């Protein structure tokens, strides 16, 4: 259930409890109103490996199960090392022990190097601060944020709203101008402020790391959160600042319900033919971003899902 500060949760705020089932062979999506299965626990996780410590299950199988069911907290320490690329999906137990040893030695070497150059770094930092204070230059807000890929996510979010919800898009372009760009903290902080428990935060993050059902699933999550305030925004004809306040007041979200809602959005997106509707000319920015949102390829992901 989604709670909004200052309001009692109403029936219109209840999210559909649907699970997203991904048929790897056919690439089809099946939405079923069923209760989520228990998360992958330690016993089941250990059963994914053969006697040499190689994964006997495919990466797709594991990632889809993480999407649908999640990981038990006792499994995350090891499973996330695969999801983040720390361990290779093809590695053996011995190879992973070697990786641990090598990375530990590298870390210790970096710590020793830092201790040696720390005085120099502190001096350079002090000089930088003094120089910056003496230079009168207009600041570019959020420039560092844009540089790490959040700007790309905001562009995709805008495109998705225009494509799936033209009525809401028109309001956001008019009275709601500036609301979507102001949602950059959602992407910077990976939505962590909106959840009721840290377990919900980890639940969403591990789904983002799987790359399932698509590589830019975080944008569909943001769209689903915007839909939670859509009716209120349109009924009250909210302006940009009021829309941002309503979005920031979304609290106590349930990760499973939010993931399910975002999966429904993805199912709707892949069922729509961009070209047939004449919505986005091939080669246009909108066409590019929609294809990025639909991308369900197995391209390797960076540790940070937004880069």
User: Which residues are CB-neighbours of 190 under 8 A, at least 6 positions away?
Assistant: 201, 204, 205, 208, 218
Whether 304 maps to a domain, the answer reads no
Where is pLDDT greater, at 250 or 279? 250
Report the number of distinct structural domains present in the chain: 1
Is residue 297 very low, low, confident or very high in pLDDT (cuts 50, 70, 90)? low
pLDDT of 66 strictly over 60: yes
Give residue 45's pLDDT: 97
Higher-pLDDT residue of 297 and 229 is 229
Count CB atoms within 10 A of the CB of residue 101.
10
The pLDDT of residue 181: 86
Least confident of 5-19, 99-113, 115-129, 218-232: 5-19
Summarised one tens digit per residue, pLDDT across range 99-156 is: 999 999 999 999 999 899 998 988 888 887 877 676 655 554 545 544 557 888 888 9
Residue 16 has what pLDDT? 35
Q: 247 pLDDT band (50/70/90 cuts)?
A: very high
Which domain does 262 fall in, by range? 23-33+144-294
Asked, for residue 209, whether it belongs to a domain, the answer is yes
| Cβ-Cβ contacts under 8 Å for 33 (sequence gap 6 or more) | 16, 17, 18
Max mean pLDDT among 156-160, 283-287, 292-296 falls in: 156-160
Per-residue pLDDT, 130: 77
Does 248 reside within a domain? Answer: yes
Characterize 200-228 residue by residue with b for buried, 16 or more Cβ atoms within 10 angstroms of its Cβ, and e for exposed. bbbbbbbbbbbbbbbbbbbbbbbbbbbbb
80-98: pLDDT as tens digits? 999 999 999 999 999 999 9
Mean pLDDT across 225-252: 92
- Is 128 domain-assigned? no
Give the whole-number percent of the chain exceeding pLDDT 70: 75
**pLDDT score for 282:** 56
The answer to whether residue 287 sits within a structural domain is yes
Q: Which pLDDT score, from 0 to 100, does residue 27 have?
A: 39
Asked whether residue 189 carries a pLDDT value surpassing 90, the answer given is no
Residue 286: pLDDT over 90: no
Residue at 214 is within a domain: yes
Poorest-pLDDT segment among 10-14, 36-40, 89-93, 226-230: 10-14
Instruction: Mark out the alpha helices in the chain (DSSP H runs).
Output: 42-46, 59-69, 73-83, 93-134, 143-147, 150-164, 166-173, 184-188, 198-210, 217-235, 240-248, 255-271, 274-277, 285-294
The pTM (predicted TM-score) of the whole model is 0.77
Residues β-bridged to residue 31: 20
pLDDT single digits (tens) 21-59? 444 333 344 444 446 789 999 999 999 999 999 999 999
Q: What pLDDT does 32 receive?
A: 41
Give 289's pLDDT tier (boundaries 50, 70, 90): confident
Question: Which residues partner with 22 through β-bridges?
Answer: 29
Chain-wide mean pLDDT for the chain?
80
CATH number at residue 272: 1.10.472.80
Q: Does residue 2 lie within any of the structural domains?
A: no
For residue 252, is it within any domain? yes
Given a cut of 90, is residue 185 above it in pLDDT? no
């Amino acid at each position: 259930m989604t709670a909004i500060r200052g309001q009692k949760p109403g029936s219109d705020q209840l999210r559909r409890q649907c699970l997203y089932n991904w048929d790897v062979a056919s690439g089809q999506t099946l939405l079923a109103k069923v209760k989520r299965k228990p998360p992958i626990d330690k016993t089941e996780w250990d059963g994914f490996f053969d006697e040499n410590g190689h994964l006997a299950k495919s990466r797709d199988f594991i990632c889809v199960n993480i999407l649908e069911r999640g990981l038990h907290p006792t499994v995350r320490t090891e499973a996330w090392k695969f999801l983040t690329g720390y361990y290779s999906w093809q590695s053996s137990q011995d190879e992973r022990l070697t990786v641990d040893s090598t990375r530990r030695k590298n870390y210790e070497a970096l710590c020793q190097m830092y201790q040696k150059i720390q005085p120099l770094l502190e001096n350079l930092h002090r000089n930088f601060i003094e120089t910056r204070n003496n230079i009168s230059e207009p600041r570019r807000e959020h420039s560092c944020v844009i540089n790490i890929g959040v700007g790309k996510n905001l562009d995709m979010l805008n495109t998705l709203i225009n494509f799936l919800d033209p009525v809401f898009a028109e309001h956001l372009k008019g009275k709601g101008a500036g609301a979507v760009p102001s949602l950059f903290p959602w992407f910077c902080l990976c939505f962590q402020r909106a959840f009721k428990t840290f377990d919900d935060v980890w639940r969403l993050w591990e789904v983002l790391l799987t790359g399932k059902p698509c590589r830019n699933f975080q944008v569909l999550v943001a769209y689903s959160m915007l839909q939670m305030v859509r009716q209120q925004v349109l009924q009250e004809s909210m302006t940009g600042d009021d829309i941002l306040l309503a979005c920031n007041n979304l609290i106590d979200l349930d990760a499973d319900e939010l993931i399910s809602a975002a999966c429904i959005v993805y199912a709707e997106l892949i069922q729509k033919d961009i070209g047939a509707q004449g919505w986005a000319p091939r080669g246009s920015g909108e066409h590019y971003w929609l294809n990025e949102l639909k991308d369900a390829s197995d391209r390797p992901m960076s540790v940070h899902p937004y880069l």
